[in-house]
């Protein structure tokens, strides 16, 4: 981390108390846990959305609320949970979504709290940088909420350490489980091509699964493992994205040789086959992607090394790709989920000259 980057990171922590501004187009947003003042633990910590340029310059830090305000609830996350902190872009590209806890910073063992006292929150953040934490659930009691995805900001699908895949409406205070079969302990939830997907590390659903057909909103849905995605011994899948209909990238945090890292899969004769694995110096769980002018897949991921230092790293999938550090987290903070900034409403894309922007973004 350069001196300039260190100064920017420190400035960002101070800026976290300021009013958020609109996101810049084409920038990255990363979840940062902690303000740097206290070593991270299993307690709840202040959480921020840090906006960076793809080159690694910090633009702003948006603080998630730590006090109740009208319908908006508090939003904190665990300081040491490795499975929390998915950041997702809604299917229409207009909102960022993430899950957390309605609790003040410093609440002990936040991931095991009961929802009778600590609700789980599904946050929505728009292009204008305004944070809405009015949506909550009593699901995931005694366990973690890990990921939240939306199609258009009006409804949410979430995943966590129990209670399966939950569906909720914007502004509500409840949700219900939609999967009638399959794992109740899940990780990242995504949408791609109008289909709901979930990653899991549990039993027969270890790998990437479809959930029902399309974007289901009723219970009794079937989780179906994509053929081949559980074929790697010792794999531990988290985030994932599709490129077209026959290419799949999976972030795997396993430390098994040749397994952990970004796995690249190809659909061959109806079965997904791993064709490459790109391994950073550390463990990764969350990522996002875009396509450069040459049509190559560019991946941005958050990595934690053996010393517990977190960073944003990039990789271009061409030849023998290597990881490049974009930004490094300050002491006593961690990076988790990462995504690109939201885009304007569809009707304003042409007016802003951004009609082609979403085409290069990650397709969930």
pLDDT in tens, 281-337: 999 999 999 999 999 999 999 999 999 999 999 999 999 999 999 999 999 999 999
- Distance separating alpha carbons of residues 138 and 26, to the nearest angstrom: 35
Which CATH number characterizes residue 89's domain? 2.120.10.30
| pLDDT above 70: percentage of residues in the chain | 90
Which of 314, 310, 312 is CA-nearest to residue 334? 310
CA 94 centroid distance within chain: 15
* Edge-to-edge strand ranges of the sheet holding 28-33: 58-63, 47-52, 28-33, 334-340
**Which tens digits make up the pLDDT trace of 41-79?**
999 999 999 999 999 999 999 999 999 999 999 999 999
Residue 347: pLDDT band (50, 70, 90) is low
Which of 240, 226, 237 is CA-nearest to residue 201? 237
Mean pLDDT of 217-236: 95
State pTM to two decimals: 0.91
Residue range of the domain that includes 267: 3-360
Q: 56: alpha, beta or left, given left = phi > 0 and alpha = psi -120 to 50?
A: left
Whether 209 shows a pLDDT value over 70: the answer reads yes
Q: 352 vs 190, which has greater pLDDT?
A: 190
**Which tens digits make up the pLDDT trace of 109-147?**
999 999 999 999 999 999 999 999 999 999 999 999 999
**Which tens digits make up the pLDDT trace of 237-294?**
999 999 999 999 999 999 888 899 999 999 999 999 999 999 999 999 999 999 999 9
> How many domains in the chain?
1
Residues 159, 187: contact at Cβ < 8 Å? Answer: yes
Mean pLDDT of 342-350: 70
């Amino acid at each position: 981390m350069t001196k300039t980057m260190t100064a920017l990171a420190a400035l960002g922590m101070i800026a976290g108390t300021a009013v958020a501004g609109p996101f810049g187009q084409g920038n990255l947003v990363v979840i940062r846990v902690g303000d740097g003042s206290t070593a991270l633990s299993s307690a709840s910590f202040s959480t921020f959305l840090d906006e960076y340029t793809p080159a690694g310059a910090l633009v702003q830090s948006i603080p998630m609320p730590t006090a109740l305000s009208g319908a908006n609830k508090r939003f904190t996350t665990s300081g040491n949970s490795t499975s929390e902190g998915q950041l997702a872009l809604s299917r229409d590209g207009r909102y960022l979504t993430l899950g957390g806890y309605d609790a003040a910073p410093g609440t002990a063992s936040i991931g095991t709290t009961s929802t009778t006292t600590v609700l789980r929150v599904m946050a929505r953040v728009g292009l204008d940088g305004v944070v809405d934490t009015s949506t909550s659930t009593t699901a995931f009691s005694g366990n973690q909420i890990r990921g939240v995805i939306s199609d258009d900001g009006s409804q949410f699908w979430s995943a966590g350490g129990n209670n399966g895949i939950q569906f909720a409406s914007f502004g509500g205070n409840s949700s219900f489980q939609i999967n009638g079969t399959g794992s109740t302990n899940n990780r990242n939830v995504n949408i791609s091509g109008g289909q709901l997907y979930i990653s899991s590390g549990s039993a027969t659903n270890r790998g990437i699964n479809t959930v029902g057909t399309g974007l289901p909103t009723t219970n009794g849905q079937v989780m179906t493992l994509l053929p081949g995605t559980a074929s790697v011994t010792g794999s531990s899948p988290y985030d994932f994205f599709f490129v077209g209909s026959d290419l799949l990238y999976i972030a795997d945090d396993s430390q098994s040789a040749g397994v952990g890292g970004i796995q690249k899969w190809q659909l061959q004769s109806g079965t997904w086959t791993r064709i490459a694995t790109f391994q950073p110096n550390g463990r990764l769980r969350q990522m996002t992607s875009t396509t450069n002018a040459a049509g190559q897949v560019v991946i941005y991921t958050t990595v934690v090394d053996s010393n517990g230092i977190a960073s944003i790293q990039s990789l271009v999938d061409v030849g023998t790709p290597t990881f490049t550090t974009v930004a490094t987290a300050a002491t006593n903070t961690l990076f988790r989920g990462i995504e690109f900034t939201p885009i304007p409403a569809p009707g304003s894309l042409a007016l802003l000259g951004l009609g082609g922007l979403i085409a290069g973004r990650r397709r969930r």
